[in-house]
Amino acid sequence: MRVVVLEDESAVADAVAAHFASLIRRKPDAVLGLATGGTPVGAYQRLIELHRRHGLSFRQISSFNLDEYLGLDEDHPQSYRRFMNEQLFDPIDIDKNRTRVPPGRPDDIRTACQRYEDEIVAAGGIDLQLLGIGRDGHIAFNEPGSSLASRTRCTTLAATTILDNARFFGSEDLVPRAALTMGIGTILDARQILLMATGSGKAEAIAGSIEGPVSSRVPGSALQLHPDVVVYLDAAAAHRLEYLEYYLESERTHRSLGLLPFP
């Protein structure tokens, strides 16, 4: 696991966007796994700028989003499909027919979840999966207690997640109580994973995910089982890491040896 600690939220967004852009230039038909929420917005804004000012093309890109609230139509102001359209897809040249978000109103939940898994496989698997992390250590909507081998499924949102997401809905009462989400096992199938986190509110979850035991109590800790994970943090999110100085020295050493493929 490569742990990259940067000065602030802006630097994290820059690094994540540069990482994605590097892959897209090397593999124009890459399959991307995308995340929603406040954390990735800055990175998406940088990708839009790279498209507009430097010709970064998404025309052949395919994408799969991590999750969607159950019960929301695609055009609901808080649906993740609408979020992705507004925050990334509309301003770039991606073919929306090649973008996938779990359905908010599936005719049959089990069938829809299996179909999502099948579509990922049919696309050749996800090349690069972007993740944020919740205060309780959840990744996607895999809440504490989720199986580390779980696949795309319907899941119940934890009270912490509902509280954190209430700011988007205006009230806790309006936050859906369930969602369709990629499972932890589905996420771990990606060829490479990027985890980004900013702010002191994520520091405990980050410490548990990177340095704690692998446990369903902290779903993000499952990332320790993947052979190619890059974690981009600002100083506030990193401040509870016991081995912080080691991660900083490791970055310096690998950079001096020319072993880092990305900025």
User: What one-character-per-residue DSSP string does 118-131 give?
Assistant: HHHHHTT--SEEEE
Q: What is the Cα–Cα distance from 102 to 153, expressed in whole angstroms?
A: 10
Which residues lie across from 63 on neighbouring strands?
32, 99
Are 185 and 223 spatial neighbours (Cβ–Cβ below 8 Å)? no
Which among 9, 68, 127, 136 is annotated as catalytic?
A: 136
Give the pLDDT of residue 22: 97
Tokens of residue 193, six digits: 């994973």
Are 84 and 192 spatial neighbours (Cβ–Cβ below 8 Å)? no
Q: What is the Cα–Cα distance from 134 to 136, expressed in whole angstroms?
A: 5
Which among 51, 127, 138, 164 is annotated as catalytic?
A: 138
Which among 9, 143, 164, 189 is annotated as catalytic?
A: 143
User: What averages of pLDDT result for each successive group of 10 residues across the chain (263 residues)?
Assistant: 97 98 98 96 98 98 98 96 98 98 97 98 98 97 98 96 92 96 98 98 98 98 98 98 97 87 60
The dihedrals phi and psi of 184, each to the nearest 5 degrees, come to -65, -40
Which among 67, 68, 189, 234 is annotated as catalytic?
A: 67
Q: What is the Cα–Cα distance from 112 to 108, expressed in whole angstroms?
A: 6
pTM of the entire predicted model: 0.96
DSSP secondary structure code for residue 142 in this structure:
B
Give the pLDDT of residue 259: 79
Q: What is the Cα–Cα distance from 124 to 130, expressed in whole angstroms?
A: 17
Say whether 76 is catalytic. Answer: no
Using DSSP bridges, classify how beta strands 62-65 and 128-131 pair: parallel, antiparallel or unpaired. Answer: unpaired
Give the pLDDT of residue 34: 98
Give the pLDDT of residue 262: 58
Q: What is the Cα–Cα distance from 40 to 61, expressed in whole angstroms?
A: 18
Strands (E), 35-147: 62-65, 67-69, 99-100, 128-131
Q: What is the Cα–Cα distance from 236 to 249, expressed in whole angstroms?
A: 18
Say whether 75 is catalytic. Answer: no
Give the pLDDT of residue 191: 98
Say whether 226 is catalytic. Answer: no
Are 51 and 91 spatial neighbours (Cβ–Cβ below 8 Å)? yes
Using alpha carbons, list the distances in angstroms from residue 148 to 19, 95, 215: 26, 33, 8
Give the pLDDT of residue 51: 98
Say whether 7 is catalytic. Answer: no
**Per this entry, what is the length of the chain?**
263
For the chain, which domains are there? 2-256 (3.40.50.1360)
Amino acid found at 37: G
